[in-house]
Each structure stands twice: as C-alpha cells, then as structure tokens.
C-alpha cells in the first residue's frame, strides 16, 4: 500500500517481500506455511497494513535468508516516511489556514517572530497557538469563547482565536482570587461608577476589582478584520476577559465590558458550541440596562430634548458618563452620530 505526498513515497517492506516471492516462484500460501503465519497476515504484511515486527524479521531471515536487520531497517524507513508524508500533507493544509490568519499584524504586535518561509510561519503559529497543527484550531473544545463582535467572517474567527490566545498567554502569570460570581454581581455598581473617572485612571482599579472576582482583565491591540470588542472564556481556574480599544470611544469600551460581564453572570461562557444569538442578546440587554436603567432612559427620551445641557443633566442624575448616554442616543437613532461627540471620552 503506497502512501505518498508531493515529495515522498512510503514503500512498505512488503513490496520487497513480494519481489522475493516472485523471484523464487513461491506462492503466498506456501510462504505463509513456511513462516508459520496465516495467509491473511502475510497478505496484510505485503500490503503494509500491519507492522513488520522484530519477530517477523527473524522468521524472514530463516525463510528467505536475508538478515533480520535488513527487514527491521526497511520497516523503520517505511514508518519514518509515513510520518514525513503526514507532516507534508498536514503542512499543505496548514498553508491554506495560514492565508486566513493575520500573521503580519501578529508579527507587528510582537506576538510571534517574523520569518519568511511559509513552513516557518506555520511552525511559528503552531507554537503560538500551542497546537500540533493549525487544523486543530477548529476543535470546538478550544473555541468556547463568549465575545462581542460587530460582524462575523472566516477571517474574524481566526482573529478571535489569535487574540484569545494572546489573552491566555498574558493572563497566565496574573494572580487572581477564586472565581466568585456573587462577588462580581456585588461589584457591578462599583465598576459602573468607574465610567465617571478618566479612562487613564481606571485601569489599575478595574483590574483589581475584577481580580477579586477571579477574573483576569487583558487589554489587547485590535487586529484588522476582527470586528472584536471583547471576549471571555475560562482558562484553568480563572476567567479571562480580553478587551480591545476598537473604535477608541470609551462608551464602546464600557458597553463591551459590561456585555462580557453579562456573559459571565448569565453563565454563557462554557458552552461547547460558543454563545447563541439569544445569549448575545441577553448580554447586550444586561449591558444596556446596567449602564442606563431602562425606566430612566424611557422617561428621558420621551422629553425629546437632546441638547448637550439636557444630556449632561440626565447623565449626572443617573450617575453615568455623559459620553455613554450620547453613544446610546446615537445608536438608537435619536441623534446623529455627528452630534455631541465632544462629550465622549477617547481611550
């Protein structure tokens, strides 16, 4: 049974056995009898579907007069060639996956080393993702990630995996307390109050509050085409939230963060097949209503007064950053996206 790739052909020792039988005009039936083995086993041995063991090699030496070390060597070469062919064929498959991974951006961010050959790039990526081959990345067991994305494409899927892996690597040395969802629920108001602080002031405080809940927060650079704003998943005995500054508007960051916190509180982050549309909507609703309580918002929009002074007054009343209210009004179509952006803070 020949196994081959573009550059290698694995020839089983059985091919040489078959040649010997033909040269000696010896039937497989008689050969099997002389070897003290079944005809079926001899047939499988010739086809290469069973291993040529050291015991069989010794029998071949007795029957055919060719040293056992010769047969053992042929078997070793055959098995090495099979593994080489598997690797070459897998490499070809990984070359196709390589096209979908944002390799150059990952190099630019310092996540992986820059190399030139395609095979070297694949090896760098295998090491980065900690997988034997890139096809394994499609395994659902590796993709139990709850995330907020503005669009989903094949490229964005690989961007998500790249960013989630970076978050894992960054969070490995983070010391956090045991996972405590109740503690997180009790900390929601404290986290919400941070929206009133300058974004340059909240990083350390936010990280500390979440760490007490068993959550490691990692801020990541955005990858083009990821459409990603946040991703959450379990890793060992902690929960990791990876956040990007995509769009650079603080209101988007806060909404995305509370969206991810919603996934955690609602228990969405360990589903084998990832989150459902219903899960994503539930997390959106959680973020929306925590940041701006529904009843308060409904009363405000009924006034129809969306002046800067009115927005600032409403924001002060409910204790939230004015930029978050502006972002909500823009998203809901009450004001144009060009209005009141001076109330928004940038990250």
For the segment 19-76, what is each residue's pLDDT rounded down to a tens digit?
999 999 999 999 999 999 999 999 999 999 999 999 999 999 999 999 999 999 999 9
For the segment 218-254, what is each residue's pLDDT rounded down to a tens digit?
888 877 755 566 778 888 788 988 887 655 788 888 9
- Among residues 264, 291, 285, the alpha carbon closest in space to that of 275 is found at 264
Q: Indicate the pLDDT class of residue 152, thresholds 50, 70 and 90.
A: low
pLDDT at 10 over 60: yes
Q: What are the residue ranges spanned by the domains of the chain?
A: 3-90, 140-291, 294-343
Q: Which region holds residue 247: left if phi is over 0, alpha if psi is between -120 and 50, else beta? A: left
pTM of the entire predicted model: 0.72
The label of the residue with tokens 């499609």 reads 138
pLDDT at 216 over 50: yes
pLDDT at 271 over 60: yes
For the segment 298-336, what is each residue's pLDDT rounded down to a tens digit?
999 999 999 999 999 999 999 999 999 999 999 999 999
Instruction: Give residue 154's pLDDT.
Output: 56
Dihedral of alpha carbons 243, 249, 251, 255, sign: negative
Q: Indicate the pLDDT class of residue 151, thresholds 50, 70 and 90.
A: very low
CA angle 58, 64, 65 (to 5 degrees): 75
For the segment 101-137, what is each residue's pLDDT rounded down to a tens digit?
889 889 998 999 999 999 899 999 999 999 988 888 8
* Position with higher pLDDT, 150 vs 300: 300
Q: Indicate the pLDDT class of residue 16, thresholds 50, 70 and 90.
A: very high
3-90 homologous superfamily:
lambda repressor-like DNA-binding domains (1.10.260.40)
**DSSP-H helix ranges across 130-175:** 154-171
The residues near 36 (Cβ < 8 Å, ≥ 6 apart) are: 59
- Average pLDDT of the residues in 275-292: 89
- Please give the C-alpha separations between residue 205 and each of 19, 173, 189, 212, 237, in angstroms, as whole numbers: 77, 18, 14, 11, 22
């Amino acid at each position: 049974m020949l196994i081959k790739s573009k550059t290698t052909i694995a020839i089983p020792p059985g091919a040489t056995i078959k040649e010997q039988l033909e040269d000696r005009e010896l039937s497989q039936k008689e050969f099997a009898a002389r070897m003290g083995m079944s005809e079926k086993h001899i047939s499988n041995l010739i086809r290469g579907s069973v291993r040529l063991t050291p015991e069989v090699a010794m029998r071949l030496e007795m029957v055919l007069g060719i040293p056992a070390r010769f047969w053992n060597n042929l078997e070793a070469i055959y098995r090495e060639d099979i593994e080489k062919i598997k690797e070459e064929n897998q490499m070809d498959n990984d070359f196709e996956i390589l096209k979908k991974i944002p390799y150059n951006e990952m190099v630019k961010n310092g996540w992986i080393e820059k190399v030139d050959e395609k095979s070297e790039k694949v090896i760098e990526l295998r090491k980065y993702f900690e997988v034997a081959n890139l096809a394994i990345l499609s395994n659902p067991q590796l993709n139990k990630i709850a995330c907020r994305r503005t669009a989903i494409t094949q490229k964005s899927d690989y961007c998500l995996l790249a960013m989630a892996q970076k978050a894992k690597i960054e969070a490995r040395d983070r010391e956090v307390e045991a996972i405590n969802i109740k503690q997180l629920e009790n900390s929601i108001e404290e986290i919400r109050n941070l929206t009133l602080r300058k974004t340059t002031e909240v990083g350390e405080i936010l990280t500390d509050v979440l760490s007490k809940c068993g959550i490691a927060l990692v801020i990541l650079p955005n990858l083009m085409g990821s459409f990603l704003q946040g991703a959450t998943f379990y890793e060992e005995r902690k929960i990791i939230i990876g956040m990007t500054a995509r769009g650079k508007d603080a209101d988007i960051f806060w909404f995305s963060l509370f969206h991810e916190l919603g996934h955690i509180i609602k228990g969405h982050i360990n589903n084998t097949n990832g989150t459902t549309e219903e899960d994503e909507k539930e997390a959106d609703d959680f973020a929306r209503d925590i940041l701006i309580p529904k009843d308060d918002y409904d009363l405000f929009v009924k006034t129809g007064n969306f002046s800067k002074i009115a927005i600032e007054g409403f924001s002060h009343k409910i204790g939230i950053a004015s930029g978050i209210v502006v972002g909500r009004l823009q998203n809901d179509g009450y004001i144009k996206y060009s209005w009141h952006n001076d109330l928004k803070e940038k990250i």
